[in-house]
Amino acid sequence: MRGGQQVFEAGTAGALEEPRPEPTGENDQPGVQMKKFLLSAAAAALTAAIAPAASAAVVLPDFTVNEGSVPGAAANTFTADKLNGGYFEVLTINPGNTFDTSGYANFGAFFRNDGTTNVPQTQLNGFGAGGYGLYATFTSSGSTTGSTPGSVFTGNTGQFFLYIDPNQDTTLATGATGSAPVARGNIADDYLIASSTQLLSGVGILGNPGAFDLFFGNFTLTAQGGNYFTAPRPFYLVVNVDGDFDALSPTTPGGSTFTSTGDLSAVFVVPEPASLALVGLALTGLGLTSRRRKS
């Protein structure tokens, strides 16, 4: 499921030739319009950078894990390229064909050799004092073509937060609807290691089974996360999360809120350097525009 990413277009030559209406408010001012254009250009360049890596032969970028950074865990370092787990979420389809979803994922295994071989003898979910848990909470919102099997979901916003649970005692519970946050319990020992609040692209197909494919940008490690994910440096900025719907059930007969369980995997993506240069140019232009408005 690597072909599901959206491609954002900043505009066409024909569109640029059309006469513009007179500004009528703050959002119509030329400076604001330029800011929106540059943000769209940056998103377009970054999405284009991801596309070749996602569609080429499967060569997954490696990363290094230092389990000895987890309190109570024994010293152990290994190289992996994929992280697998399972998830539970609540999905609500709103009037106007929009949706909200909220859920959590528990990870259970690392893989290497381009995702083909399980990494042996890790302490993830292990017995005894050295074992620890690894989980994420997530939310997403967007639009959908409907609420029946085969409907397509397109994510507009999304975020996730990745935690380590040294004592393996965390409780996770979803709310009544997809807009409610996940409630976490027994978290005194837990700590955040990474997060992203930038959904670059997201698409899903509703059904039993169904599937989804998400790209998150600006993947950010905390200080403790940098002790756990020790290489490469700098670390990857883009992570691809995809999976399936093993079971999708309405919370009430005929209702618009569903619960879903399934499997997922996470791999990192290295965008094309040329496209990253375009991102830099767009962001530089955005900075110059901002400084001009302040001066």
pLDDT in tens, 176-232: 999 999 999 999 999 999 999 999 999 999 888 889 999 999 999 999 999 999 999
Tell me the pTM: 0.76
Average pLDDT over residues 251-260: 88
Question: In the chain, where are the structural domains located?
Answer: 1-6+25-59+273-295, 62-269
Region of poorest pLDDT, from 47-61, 89-103, 224-238? 47-61
Question: Are 193 and 177 contacting, i.e. CB atoms less than 8 angstroms apart?
Answer: no
Instruction: Indicate the SS3 state at residue 102.
Output: strand
Question: Are 147 and 120 contacting, i.e. CB atoms less than 8 angstroms apart?
Answer: no
Average pLDDT over residues 248-273: 88
pLDDT of residue 137 exceeding 80, the answer is yes
pLDDT of res. 280: 42
Percent residues over pLDDT 70 in the chain: 73
Residue 163: Cβ-neighbour burial (10 angstroms; 0-12, 13-18, 19+): buried
Question: What is the helix, strand, coil percentage profile of the chain, to 5?
Answer: 20, 40, 35
Give Cα 261 distance to the centre of its chain. Answer: 17
pLDDT of res. 30: 53
pLDDT of res. 272: 61
